[in-house]
Amino acid sequence: MRLFSKDFWFQFASPKTFYPFAGKLIPWFAGVAAVLTLVGLYIGFFVAPVDYQQGNSYRVMFIHVPAAWMSMFIYVVMCAYAALGLVLNTRLSDMMAAALAPTGAMFTFVALWTGALWGRPTWGTYWVWDARLTSELILLFLYLGYMALRSAIDDPRRASRASGLLALVGVINVPIIYFSVKWWNTLHQGASVSLTSAPTMAKTMFAAMIVMTFAFWAYAIAVALYRVRLIILERERHARWVVELAERER
Amino acid sequence: MNWSSWSEFFAMGGHAPYVWGSYGVTFLLMAIEVFLLRRRRNAVMRRIRRLARMQRETNE
């Protein structure tokens, strides 16, 4: 069985094989992201009813919750790639981790920004130093620290080791964010969606949120694959196949 | 249908700055990210071609 052979899987760990493979995937994920965004926005604005307590301000939720989920999810995936890179010494894993960081940071900022704009009409304040908000802000600093550390070290191997370790240590923050609303008394509401119970909101509201989550997910994959291709080109700029590719593209 | 007119839709029941401020910034950031990636790709390609040219010139 080809699928069970080690060589089959390890060929994707080679930047040269992965580059065209990722290139084929990008348009598909970008297309899915665009379609799901339109569907999600339609459900969110035209199907989901007005909330009887919050009015229309609650519609911020359709990007706030997906962005917050993605900010944590991308960090965990980034950390897994960084760990793989540290243990197996595969260059591509480290490149994937690096490619995910800016998009993760972007979603973390979006979660904080939309949270502030939702907090103002709902709580009467843009910001409060409570556990959920503060730990999410720390997540943003972890992403920025990871990126700053990488760009501060010239030797790519040392940069990937140091930043990989930082990513691994920082993952402790993800469960802290997730459980913060249980562990501490916070202004932020608890989880309205969980695996063990039915969501505590109207079905159409839930649908808009889930569709937007998959839209952001597809967007993140498309953008990360695009960025990892650039990182491959930068790192392998002396390789013959990269030079030939660049000259062909003129 | 939630809205009887476009102006009602844009007003968001008085919550327009919060709702549109959220959606606007989110999609603006995504557009900027894609724009920066495309620009970086062009720069990378140019740099690789320049390096290859310099390499050829030193070999001659």
- Phi then psi for residue A51, to 5 deg, are -80, 135
Q: Is residue A121 assigned to a domain?
A: yes
Contact A220, A107 (CB under 8 A): yes
Question: What are the backbone dihedrals phi and psi of residue A200, each rounded to the nearest 5 degrees, phi first?
Answer: -95, 50
Contact A114, A63 (CB under 8 A): yes
Given a contact cutoff of 8 angstroms between Cβ atoms, the answer to whether A89 and A66 are in contact is: no
Asked whether residue B45 is assigned to any structural domain, the reply reads yes
Task: State the average pLDDT for chain A.
Answer: 91
Contact A213, A37 (CB under 8 A): no
Confidence (pLDDT) at A102: 98
Residue B19, in any domain of the structure: no
Which chain B residues touch A if contact means CB-CB below 8 Å?
1-3, 9, 12-15, 17-19, 21-23, 25-26, 29-30, 33-34, 37, 40-41, 44-45, 47-49, 51-52
Within-domain flag for B49 = yes
Region B41-47 average pLDDT: 95
Using one digit for the tens of pLDDT, what is the confidence trace for A108-149?
Answer: 999 999 999 999 999 999 999 999 999 999 999 999 999 999
The tens digit of pLDDT for each residue in A142-182 reads 999 999 999 999 999 999 999 999 999 999 999 999 999 88
Instruction: Identify whether B22 is part of a domain.
Output: no
Q: What is the pLDDT of residue A250?
A: 64
In a domain, B13, yes or no: no
Provide long-range contacts, Cβ within 8 A and 24+ apart, for B54-59. none
At A194, the pLDDT band (50, 70, 90 cuts) reads low
- Domain presence at residue B18: no
Domain extent at residue A49: 35-248
Angle, CA of A72, A10 and A223, to the nearest 5°: 35
Residue A24 domain-assigned? no
Nearest to B21 among A50, A102, A117 (CB): A117
Number of domains, chain B = 1
B29 and A110 within 8 Å at the Cβ level: the answer is: yes
- Cα A17 to Cα A159: distance, rounded to the nearest angstrom: 24
Asked whether residue B51 is assigned to any structural domain, the reply reads yes
Q: What is the ipTM of this complex?
A: 0.93
* pLDDT confidence band for A38 (50 / 70 / 90): very high
Residue A234's pLDDT band (cuts 50, 70, 90): very high
Nearest C-alpha in B relative to A227: B37
Question: Nearest residue on chain B to A102, judged by CA atoms?
Answer: B33
In a domain, A15, yes or no: no
pLDDT value of residue A4: 66
With contact defined as beta carbons under 8 Å apart, do A171 and A76 qualify? yes
Q: What percent of chain A has pLDDT over 70?
A: 91
Does residue B21 fall inside a structural domain? no
* Of A56, A64, A242, Cβ closest to residue B13: A56
Q: Mutual orientation of helices A15-42 and A203-235 as an angle, nearest 10°?
A: 160
Domain limits for position B47? 35-60
CA dihedral (B14, B20, B23, B29) positive or negative: negative
Closest Cα of chain B to A148: distance in Å? Answer: 18
Which residues in chain A have Cβ-Cβ distances shorter than 8 Å to B37? 223, 226-227, 230
Q: How far apart are CA A6 and CA A29, in angstroms?
A: 27
Give the per-residue pLDDT at A52. Answer: 85
Rg of chain A, C-alpha, whole Å: 20
Total structural domains within chain A: 1
pLDDT at residue A6, rounded to an integer: 63
